[in-house]
Amino acid sequence: IPYVVEMGFTHIEFLPISEHPYDPSWGYQTTGLYAPSARFGDVDGFARFVDGAHLAGIGVLLDWVPAHFPTDAFGLAKFDGTALYEHEDPRLGFHPDWNTAIYNFGRREVTSFLVNNALFWAERYHIDGLRVDAVASMLYRDYSRKSGEWIPNADGGRENWEAVAFLRDMNREIYSQHPGVFTIAEESTSWPGVSAPVSDDGKSGGLGFGFKWNMGFMHDTLQYMARDPLHRKHHHGEINFGLVYAFSENFVLPLSHDEVVHGKGSLLTKMPGDDWQQFANLRAYYAFMWGYPGKKLLFMGQEFAQRREWSEARALDWDLRNARSHEGIRNLVRDLNTVYREKPALHARDCEAEGFEWLVADDATNSVFAWLRKAPGAKPIAIVANMTPIARAPYRVPLPHDGRWCEIINSDAHDYWGSGLGNLGGVVAKDGAA
Protein backbone atom coordinates (compact mmCIF):
# COMPACT_ATOMS: atom_id res chain seq x y z
CA ILE A 1 0.00 0.00 0.00
CA PRO A 2 2.77 2.54 0.76
CA TYR A 3 4.30 1.79 -2.67
CA VAL A 4 0.97 2.47 -4.41
CA VAL A 5 0.63 5.72 -2.48
CA GLU A 6 4.19 6.74 -3.36
CA MET A 7 3.46 6.06 -7.04
CA GLY A 8 0.38 8.29 -7.00
CA PHE A 9 -2.16 5.66 -8.02
CA THR A 10 -5.76 6.06 -6.88
CA HIS A 11 -6.90 2.41 -6.87
CA ILE A 12 -5.63 -1.16 -6.69
CA GLU A 13 -7.47 -3.67 -8.89
CA PHE A 14 -7.12 -7.33 -7.97
CA LEU A 15 -7.37 -10.25 -10.32
CA PRO A 16 -10.25 -12.43 -9.04
CA ILE A 17 -9.68 -13.36 -5.40
CA SER A 18 -12.72 -15.66 -5.07
CA GLU A 19 -11.74 -19.24 -4.26
CA HIS A 20 -10.62 -21.17 -7.34
CA PRO A 21 -9.03 -24.60 -7.80
CA TYR A 22 -6.52 -23.90 -10.58
CA ASP A 23 -3.67 -21.41 -10.11
CA PRO A 24 -3.00 -20.84 -13.84
CA SER A 25 -6.60 -19.67 -14.27
CA TRP A 26 -5.54 -16.57 -12.25
CA GLY A 27 -8.89 -16.76 -10.48
CA TYR A 28 -11.05 -16.47 -13.59
CA GLN A 29 -12.50 -19.96 -13.02
CA THR A 30 -13.98 -19.63 -9.58
CA THR A 31 -15.82 -22.23 -7.54
CA GLY A 32 -16.43 -20.10 -4.44
CA LEU A 33 -17.81 -16.69 -5.35
CA TYR A 34 -18.45 -15.73 -1.74
CA ALA A 35 -15.03 -16.81 -0.38
CA PRO A 36 -11.77 -14.86 -0.62
CA SER A 37 -9.14 -17.41 -1.61
CA ALA A 38 -7.32 -19.03 1.33
CA ARG A 39 -4.10 -19.08 -0.73
CA PHE A 40 -3.66 -15.36 0.06
CA GLY A 41 -4.62 -15.43 3.74
CA ASP A 42 -7.79 -15.47 5.81
CA VAL A 43 -10.93 -13.39 5.35
CA ASP A 44 -10.02 -11.05 8.19
CA GLY A 45 -6.71 -10.37 6.50
CA PHE A 46 -8.44 -9.26 3.32
CA ALA A 47 -10.78 -7.02 5.31
CA ARG A 48 -7.78 -5.45 7.04
CA PHE A 49 -6.10 -4.89 3.69
CA VAL A 50 -9.13 -3.03 2.32
CA ASP A 51 -9.37 -0.94 5.50
CA GLY A 52 -5.66 -0.16 5.31
CA ALA A 53 -5.94 0.90 1.68
CA HIS A 54 -8.85 3.19 2.54
CA LEU A 55 -6.92 4.77 5.41
CA ALA A 56 -4.17 5.54 2.90
CA GLY A 57 -6.65 7.04 0.44
CA ILE A 58 -6.53 4.11 -1.99
CA GLY A 59 -9.63 2.45 -3.45
CA VAL A 60 -9.88 -1.32 -3.97
CA LEU A 61 -11.42 -2.90 -7.07
CA LEU A 62 -12.07 -6.60 -7.71
CA ASP A 63 -12.23 -8.54 -10.94
CA TRP A 64 -15.54 -10.39 -10.77
CA VAL A 65 -16.56 -13.37 -12.92
CA PRO A 66 -20.32 -13.95 -13.29
CA ALA A 67 -20.03 -15.20 -16.88
CA HIS A 68 -19.08 -18.85 -16.30
CA PHE A 69 -17.77 -21.36 -13.76
CA PRO A 70 -15.63 -24.52 -13.83
CA THR A 71 -17.22 -27.95 -13.92
CA ASP A 72 -15.32 -29.43 -10.95
CA ALA A 73 -17.54 -31.81 -8.97
CA PHE A 74 -17.05 -29.80 -5.76
CA GLY A 75 -18.32 -26.62 -7.42
CA LEU A 76 -21.72 -25.55 -8.74
CA ALA A 77 -21.87 -27.86 -11.75
CA LYS A 78 -24.79 -30.31 -11.47
CA PHE A 79 -25.12 -29.04 -7.92
CA ASP A 80 -28.09 -31.23 -6.98
CA GLY A 81 -27.53 -33.79 -9.73
CA THR A 82 -29.29 -31.60 -12.28
CA ALA A 83 -28.34 -28.49 -14.24
CA LEU A 84 -29.24 -26.15 -11.39
CA TYR A 85 -26.99 -23.13 -12.03
CA GLU A 86 -26.19 -23.83 -15.68
CA HIS A 87 -28.20 -24.74 -18.80
CA GLU A 88 -28.80 -28.40 -19.53
CA ASP A 89 -28.23 -27.90 -23.28
CA PRO A 90 -24.49 -27.40 -23.97
CA ARG A 91 -25.37 -25.03 -26.81
CA LEU A 92 -26.45 -22.64 -24.06
CA GLY A 93 -24.64 -23.92 -21.00
CA PHE A 94 -21.11 -24.83 -22.05
CA HIS A 95 -18.33 -22.41 -23.00
CA PRO A 96 -16.05 -23.88 -25.69
CA ASP A 97 -13.16 -21.46 -25.08
CA TRP A 98 -12.67 -22.27 -21.41
CA ASN A 99 -14.41 -25.66 -21.02
CA THR A 100 -16.63 -24.11 -18.37
CA ALA A 101 -20.34 -23.96 -17.60
CA ILE A 102 -22.40 -20.85 -18.37
CA TYR A 103 -24.85 -19.54 -15.78
CA ASN A 104 -28.54 -19.78 -16.63
CA PHE A 105 -29.35 -16.06 -16.50
CA GLY A 106 -32.99 -16.79 -17.24
CA ARG A 107 -33.43 -18.46 -13.86
CA ARG A 108 -34.39 -16.08 -11.06
CA GLU A 109 -32.59 -18.04 -8.35
CA VAL A 110 -29.34 -17.92 -10.33
CA THR A 111 -29.43 -14.19 -11.03
CA SER A 112 -30.35 -13.56 -7.39
CA PHE A 113 -27.31 -15.59 -6.33
CA LEU A 114 -25.06 -13.52 -8.60
CA VAL A 115 -26.52 -10.08 -7.87
CA ASN A 116 -26.26 -10.73 -4.16
CA ASN A 117 -22.66 -11.79 -4.62
CA ALA A 118 -21.86 -8.43 -6.21
CA LEU A 119 -23.53 -6.70 -3.26
CA PHE A 120 -21.73 -9.01 -0.82
CA TRP A 121 -18.28 -7.67 -1.72
CA ALA A 122 -19.42 -4.10 -1.21
CA GLU A 123 -21.33 -4.82 2.02
CA ARG A 124 -18.94 -7.22 3.73
CA TYR A 125 -15.56 -5.97 2.55
CA HIS A 126 -16.33 -2.38 1.50
CA ILE A 127 -14.71 -2.75 -1.90
CA ASP A 128 -15.02 0.31 -4.15
CA GLY A 129 -15.80 -1.29 -7.47
CA LEU A 130 -16.15 -4.41 -9.60
CA ARG A 131 -14.57 -4.99 -12.97
CA VAL A 132 -16.85 -7.54 -14.64
CA ASP A 133 -14.97 -10.08 -16.72
CA ALA A 134 -15.92 -11.43 -20.16
CA VAL A 135 -19.08 -9.37 -20.63
CA ALA A 136 -19.04 -9.94 -24.39
CA SER A 137 -19.30 -13.70 -23.84
CA MET A 138 -22.48 -13.07 -21.85
CA LEU A 139 -24.17 -10.76 -24.35
CA TYR A 140 -24.07 -13.05 -27.38
CA ARG A 141 -25.48 -16.56 -27.64
CA ASP A 142 -23.14 -17.31 -30.55
CA TYR A 143 -19.99 -16.03 -28.81
CA SER A 144 -17.05 -18.13 -30.04
CA ARG A 145 -19.46 -20.67 -31.58
CA LYS A 146 -19.89 -21.92 -35.13
CA SER A 147 -23.18 -22.21 -36.97
CA GLY A 148 -25.31 -24.95 -35.44
CA GLU A 149 -23.52 -24.74 -32.08
CA TRP A 150 -25.87 -22.15 -30.56
CA ILE A 151 -29.58 -21.52 -30.09
CA PRO A 152 -31.10 -18.20 -31.23
CA ASN A 153 -33.30 -16.18 -28.90
CA ALA A 154 -37.10 -16.06 -29.24
CA ASP A 155 -36.76 -13.40 -31.95
CA GLY A 156 -34.24 -15.43 -33.91
CA GLY A 157 -31.35 -13.21 -32.91
CA ARG A 158 -27.99 -13.76 -31.27
CA GLU A 159 -28.48 -11.45 -28.29
CA ASN A 160 -28.69 -13.05 -24.86
CA TRP A 161 -31.49 -10.89 -23.43
CA GLU A 162 -31.51 -12.81 -20.15
CA ALA A 163 -27.86 -11.86 -19.57
CA VAL A 164 -28.66 -8.26 -20.50
CA ALA A 165 -31.44 -8.20 -17.89
CA PHE A 166 -29.08 -9.65 -15.28
CA LEU A 167 -26.36 -7.05 -15.96
CA ARG A 168 -28.89 -4.23 -15.76
CA ASP A 169 -30.28 -5.57 -12.49
CA MET A 170 -26.82 -6.02 -11.03
CA ASN A 171 -25.75 -2.48 -11.91
CA ARG A 172 -28.98 -0.93 -10.65
CA GLU A 173 -28.64 -2.69 -7.31
CA ILE A 174 -24.96 -1.77 -6.90
CA TYR A 175 -25.49 1.90 -7.67
CA SER A 176 -28.71 2.23 -5.64
CA GLN A 177 -27.54 0.38 -2.53
CA HIS A 178 -23.90 1.48 -2.48
CA PRO A 179 -23.43 5.06 -3.72
CA GLY A 180 -19.81 5.62 -4.65
CA VAL A 181 -19.18 2.00 -5.67
CA PHE A 182 -18.81 1.66 -9.44
CA THR A 183 -18.66 -1.09 -12.05
CA ILE A 184 -16.44 -1.57 -15.10
CA ALA A 185 -17.18 -3.83 -18.05
CA GLU A 186 -14.59 -5.81 -19.96
CA GLU A 187 -16.55 -5.76 -23.20
CA SER A 188 -14.75 -6.19 -26.51
CA THR A 189 -17.53 -5.54 -29.05
CA SER A 190 -19.50 -2.47 -30.13
CA TRP A 191 -22.60 -3.31 -28.07
CA PRO A 192 -24.26 0.10 -27.61
CA GLY A 193 -24.65 1.82 -24.26
CA VAL A 194 -22.49 -0.40 -22.08
CA SER A 195 -21.79 2.55 -19.77
CA ALA A 196 -25.14 4.27 -20.37
CA PRO A 197 -27.79 4.35 -17.61
CA VAL A 198 -30.54 1.75 -17.35
CA SER A 199 -34.09 3.04 -17.75
CA ASP A 200 -36.21 3.58 -14.65
CA ASP A 201 -38.13 0.36 -15.25
CA GLY A 202 -34.87 -1.56 -15.75
CA LYS A 203 -36.00 -2.96 -19.09
CA SER A 204 -34.33 -0.63 -21.59
CA GLY A 205 -31.55 1.92 -21.95
CA GLY A 206 -27.92 0.96 -21.47
CA LEU A 207 -26.36 -1.81 -19.43
CA GLY A 208 -25.68 0.56 -16.53
CA PHE A 209 -21.93 0.13 -16.06
CA GLY A 210 -19.93 3.11 -14.86
CA PHE A 211 -17.05 2.44 -17.25
CA LYS A 212 -16.00 0.16 -20.09
CA TRP A 213 -12.54 -1.11 -20.94
CA ASN A 214 -11.35 0.38 -24.23
CA MET A 215 -9.99 -2.77 -25.81
CA GLY A 216 -9.61 -1.00 -29.17
CA PHE A 217 -7.19 1.50 -27.64
CA MET A 218 -5.05 -1.29 -26.22
CA HIS A 219 -4.96 -3.23 -29.48
CA ASP A 220 -4.44 -0.35 -31.91
CA THR A 221 -1.89 1.64 -29.92
CA LEU A 222 0.23 -1.37 -29.01
CA GLN A 223 0.16 -2.47 -32.65
CA TYR A 224 1.29 1.03 -33.66
CA MET A 225 4.05 1.18 -31.04
CA ALA A 226 5.41 -2.23 -32.07
CA ARG A 227 6.13 -0.89 -35.56
CA ASP A 228 9.50 0.47 -36.60
CA PRO A 229 9.23 4.27 -36.19
CA LEU A 230 10.25 4.59 -39.83
CA HIS A 231 7.02 2.82 -40.85
CA ARG A 232 4.63 4.52 -38.41
CA LYS A 233 3.83 7.27 -40.91
CA HIS A 234 2.00 4.65 -42.97
CA HIS A 235 -0.19 3.69 -39.99
CA HIS A 236 -1.18 7.09 -38.60
CA GLY A 237 -4.82 6.03 -38.54
CA GLU A 238 -4.15 3.41 -35.86
CA ILE A 239 -3.91 6.33 -33.45
CA ASN A 240 -6.45 8.69 -35.03
CA PHE A 241 -9.21 6.10 -35.28
CA GLY A 242 -9.50 5.70 -31.52
CA LEU A 243 -10.41 9.36 -31.10
CA VAL A 244 -13.40 8.86 -33.41
CA TYR A 245 -15.19 6.77 -30.75
CA ALA A 246 -13.31 7.85 -27.62
CA PHE A 247 -16.39 9.48 -26.10
CA SER A 248 -19.02 6.94 -27.10
CA GLU A 249 -18.58 5.25 -23.71
CA ASN A 250 -16.99 6.09 -20.37
CA PHE A 251 -13.69 4.43 -21.18
CA VAL A 252 -10.85 3.00 -19.13
CA LEU A 253 -7.58 2.60 -21.06
CA PRO A 254 -6.28 -0.82 -19.98
CA LEU A 255 -2.82 -2.28 -20.38
CA SER A 256 -3.87 -5.56 -18.86
CA HIS A 257 -2.40 -8.91 -17.88
CA ASP A 258 -3.66 -10.39 -21.16
CA GLU A 259 -1.03 -8.39 -23.05
CA VAL A 260 1.97 -9.74 -21.11
CA VAL A 261 1.34 -13.51 -21.06
CA HIS A 262 1.25 -16.54 -23.39
CA GLY A 263 4.19 -15.54 -25.55
CA LYS A 264 3.17 -11.92 -26.08
CA GLY A 265 6.19 -10.59 -24.22
CA SER A 266 6.30 -7.65 -21.85
CA LEU A 267 5.37 -4.10 -22.82
CA LEU A 268 9.07 -3.22 -22.96
CA THR A 269 9.94 -6.07 -25.31
CA LYS A 270 7.03 -5.17 -27.60
CA MET A 271 8.81 -1.91 -28.41
CA PRO A 272 11.13 -1.83 -31.46
CA GLY A 273 14.83 -1.06 -31.56
CA ASP A 274 17.74 -1.60 -29.20
CA ASP A 275 17.51 -1.35 -25.44
CA TRP A 276 17.70 2.46 -25.29
CA GLN A 277 15.11 2.83 -28.06
CA GLN A 278 12.74 0.39 -26.36
CA PHE A 279 12.82 2.45 -23.19
CA ALA A 280 12.36 5.69 -25.14
CA ASN A 281 9.39 4.21 -26.99
CA LEU A 282 7.79 2.99 -23.77
CA ARG A 283 8.24 6.37 -22.09
CA ALA A 284 6.69 8.13 -25.08
CA TYR A 285 3.82 5.65 -25.04
CA TYR A 286 3.06 6.18 -21.35
CA ALA A 287 3.13 9.97 -21.69
CA PHE A 288 0.87 9.71 -24.74
CA MET A 289 -1.52 7.44 -22.83
CA TRP A 290 -1.74 9.70 -19.77
CA GLY A 291 -2.63 12.60 -22.04
CA TYR A 292 -5.23 10.56 -23.96
CA PRO A 293 -8.87 10.84 -22.82
CA GLY A 294 -9.95 7.99 -20.54
CA LYS A 295 -9.00 6.57 -17.15
CA LYS A 296 -5.66 4.72 -16.94
CA LEU A 297 -4.92 1.15 -15.87
CA LEU A 298 -1.52 -0.56 -15.66
CA PHE A 299 -0.89 -4.19 -14.81
CA MET A 300 1.65 -4.71 -12.03
CA GLY A 301 5.28 -4.45 -13.06
CA GLN A 302 4.53 -2.25 -16.06
CA GLU A 303 5.27 0.82 -13.95
CA PHE A 304 8.97 -0.14 -13.87
CA ALA A 305 9.13 -1.89 -17.27
CA GLN A 306 9.19 -5.54 -16.23
CA ARG A 307 11.23 -7.38 -18.86
CA ARG A 308 9.92 -10.91 -18.50
CA GLU A 309 6.38 -12.00 -19.20
CA TRP A 310 4.19 -12.16 -16.14
CA SER A 311 3.67 -15.55 -14.48
CA GLU A 312 1.55 -16.43 -11.48
CA ALA A 313 4.33 -18.82 -10.46
CA ARG A 314 6.91 -16.13 -9.58
CA ALA A 315 7.23 -12.66 -8.14
CA LEU A 316 7.88 -9.56 -10.21
CA ASP A 317 11.52 -8.75 -10.98
CA TRP A 318 11.81 -6.00 -8.38
CA ASP A 319 15.60 -6.03 -8.63
CA LEU A 320 15.23 -4.23 -11.97
CA ARG A 321 14.65 -1.08 -9.99
CA ASN A 322 18.40 -1.02 -9.36
CA ALA A 323 18.88 -0.12 -13.04
CA ARG A 324 18.56 3.58 -13.95
CA SER A 325 16.63 2.71 -17.10
CA HIS A 326 13.88 0.90 -15.20
CA GLU A 327 13.83 3.40 -12.35
CA GLY A 328 13.49 6.11 -15.00
CA ILE A 329 10.26 4.51 -16.22
CA ARG A 330 8.99 4.25 -12.64
CA ASN A 331 9.80 7.90 -11.97
CA LEU A 332 7.94 8.89 -15.13
CA VAL A 333 4.82 6.93 -14.17
CA ARG A 334 4.92 8.47 -10.69
CA ASP A 335 5.17 11.98 -12.13
CA LEU A 336 2.48 11.29 -14.75
CA ASN A 337 0.14 10.16 -11.95
CA THR A 338 0.92 13.30 -9.96
CA VAL A 339 0.25 15.62 -12.88
CA TYR A 340 -2.87 13.68 -13.87
CA ARG A 341 -4.35 14.02 -10.38
CA GLU A 342 -3.38 17.66 -9.91
CA LYS A 343 -4.48 19.02 -13.30
CA PRO A 344 -8.28 18.96 -13.85
CA ALA A 345 -7.79 19.42 -17.60
CA LEU A 346 -6.29 15.92 -17.72
CA HIS A 347 -9.00 14.07 -15.79
CA ALA A 348 -12.21 16.06 -15.25
CA ARG A 349 -13.54 15.50 -18.77
CA ASP A 350 -11.92 12.18 -19.59
CA CYS A 351 -15.24 10.89 -20.92
CA GLU A 352 -16.59 14.05 -22.55
CA ALA A 353 -15.79 15.33 -26.04
CA GLU A 354 -15.77 18.90 -24.72
CA GLY A 355 -12.54 18.08 -22.90
CA PHE A 356 -10.60 17.30 -26.09
CA GLU A 357 -9.53 19.32 -29.12
CA TRP A 358 -7.18 18.32 -31.92
CA LEU A 359 -4.19 20.58 -32.57
CA VAL A 360 -2.27 18.38 -35.02
CA ALA A 361 -4.07 15.31 -36.37
CA ASP A 362 -2.80 14.85 -39.90
CA ASP A 363 1.00 15.01 -39.75
CA ALA A 364 1.57 11.40 -40.72
CA THR A 365 4.86 12.28 -42.44
CA ASN A 366 6.47 13.22 -39.11
CA SER A 367 4.37 10.85 -36.94
CA VAL A 368 3.40 13.77 -34.72
CA PHE A 369 0.13 14.08 -32.80
CA ALA A 370 -0.97 17.06 -30.73
CA TRP A 371 -4.18 17.83 -28.90
CA LEU A 372 -5.59 19.97 -26.14
CA ARG A 373 -7.14 18.71 -22.90
CA LYS A 374 -9.62 21.07 -21.23
CA ALA A 375 -11.86 21.40 -18.16
CA PRO A 376 -14.13 24.18 -16.87
CA GLY A 377 -12.21 26.76 -14.87
CA ALA A 378 -8.84 25.08 -15.51
CA LYS A 379 -5.89 26.00 -17.69
CA PRO A 380 -5.75 23.89 -20.87
CA ILE A 381 -2.91 21.40 -21.36
CA ALA A 382 -1.33 20.62 -24.73
CA ILE A 383 -0.22 17.06 -25.39
CA VAL A 384 2.44 16.77 -28.10
CA ALA A 385 3.66 13.30 -29.12
CA ASN A 386 6.54 12.70 -31.50
CA MET A 387 6.55 8.99 -32.29
CA THR A 388 9.91 8.90 -34.05
CA PRO A 389 13.48 9.26 -32.69
CA ILE A 390 14.00 12.34 -34.90
CA ALA A 391 13.99 15.71 -33.13
CA ARG A 392 11.35 17.89 -34.81
CA ALA A 393 12.74 21.36 -34.26
CA PRO A 394 11.57 23.87 -35.17
CA TYR A 395 8.02 22.53 -35.24
CA ARG A 396 4.89 24.69 -35.30
CA VAL A 397 2.13 23.68 -32.88
CA PRO A 398 -1.15 25.66 -32.92
CA LEU A 399 -2.11 26.88 -29.44
CA PRO A 400 -5.30 28.69 -28.36
CA HIS A 401 -3.64 31.32 -26.16
CA ASP A 402 -0.59 33.48 -26.74
CA GLY A 403 2.02 33.72 -24.00
CA ARG A 404 4.23 31.27 -22.15
CA TRP A 405 3.26 27.61 -21.95
CA CYS A 406 5.16 25.70 -19.25
CA GLU A 407 6.51 22.22 -19.94
CA ILE A 408 5.15 19.98 -17.16
CA ILE A 409 6.25 16.55 -18.43
CA ASN A 410 9.00 15.61 -20.87
CA SER A 411 9.32 11.86 -21.36
CA ASP A 412 12.86 12.37 -22.74
CA ALA A 413 14.14 14.07 -19.56
CA HIS A 414 17.38 12.90 -17.94
CA ASP A 415 15.44 11.95 -14.78
CA TYR A 416 13.65 9.30 -16.83
CA TRP A 417 16.85 8.00 -18.50
CA GLY A 418 16.17 10.07 -21.59
CA SER A 419 18.51 12.17 -23.71
CA GLY A 420 17.47 15.41 -22.05
CA LEU A 421 16.15 17.03 -25.21
CA GLY A 422 13.31 19.35 -24.27
CA ASN A 423 11.98 22.89 -24.38
CA LEU A 424 14.02 24.48 -21.59
CA GLY A 425 10.98 24.58 -19.36
CA GLY A 426 8.46 25.98 -21.80
CA VAL A 427 7.62 27.73 -25.06
CA VAL A 428 6.13 31.10 -25.97
CA ALA A 429 3.06 31.13 -28.20
CA LYS A 430 2.57 34.05 -30.57
CA ASP A 431 -0.09 34.59 -33.21
CA GLY A 432 -1.81 31.34 -32.26
CA ALA A 433 1.17 28.99 -32.40
CA ALA A 434 4.50 28.10 -30.81
Alpha-carbon span 267 to 256, nearest angstrom: 10
- Superfamily the domain 352-429 falls into: Golgi alpha-mannosidase II (2.60.40.1180)
Is 275 a known active-site residue? no
- The pLDDT tens digits for 291-325 are 999 999 999 999 999 999 999 999 999 999 999 99
- The catalytic residue among 133, 169, 303, 350 is 133
Q: Would you state the pLDDT for residue 418?
A: 97
CA–CA gap between residue 202 and residue 181 (Å, rounded): 19
Chain centre to alpha carbon of residue 398: 31
Give the C-alpha separation, 105 to 163, whole Å: 5
> Which residue numbers in the chain have pLDDT < 70?
none
Active site residue 354: no
Q: How far apart are CA 194 and CA 190, in angstroms?
A: 9
Q: Could you tell me which residues come within 8 angstroms of residue 209 by beta carbon, excluding any fewer than 6 positions away?
A: 132, 167, 171, 183, 184, 185, 194, 195, 250
- pLDDT confidence of residue 203: 85
- Specify the pLDDT at position 95: 94
Enumerate the domain spans of the chain: 1-342, 352-429
Q: Which of 169, 186, 187, 335 is catalytic?
A: 186
Cα 377 from Cα 409, distance rounded (Å): 21
> Vertex 243, ends 242 and 248: CA angle to 5°?
90
Residue 396 has what pLDDT? 95
Q: Which amino acid is at 289?
A: M
Dihedral sign, Cα of residue 306, residue 308, residue 313, residue 317? negative
The secondary structure of the chain, three-state, reads: CHHHHHHCCCEEEECCCEECCCHHHCCCCCCEEEEECHHHCCHHHHHHHHHHHHHCCCEEEEEECCCEECCCCCCCCCCCCCCCCECCCHHHHEECCCCEEEECCCCHHHHHHHHHHHHHHHHHHCCCEEEECCHHHHHECCCCCCCCCCCCCCCCCCECHHHHHHHHHHHHHHHHHCCCCEEEECCCCCCCCCCCCECCCCCCECCCCCEEECHHHHHHHHHHHCCCHHHHHHHCHHHHHHHHCCCCCCEEEEECHHHHCCCCCCHHHHCCCCHHHHHHHHHHHHHHHHHCCCEEEECCCHHHCCCCCCCCCCCCCHHHHHCHHHHHHHHHHHHHHHHHHHCHHHHCCCCCHHHEEEEEEEECCCCEEEEEECCCCCCCEEEEEECCCCCCCCCCCECCCCEEEECCCCCCCHHHCCCCCCCCCEEEEECCEC
Q: Do domains 1-342 and 352-429 have the same CATH topology?
A: no
According to DSSP, the β-strands at 18-19 and 32-36 are: antiparallel
How is domain 1-342 classified at the CATH fold level? TIM Barrel (3.20.20)
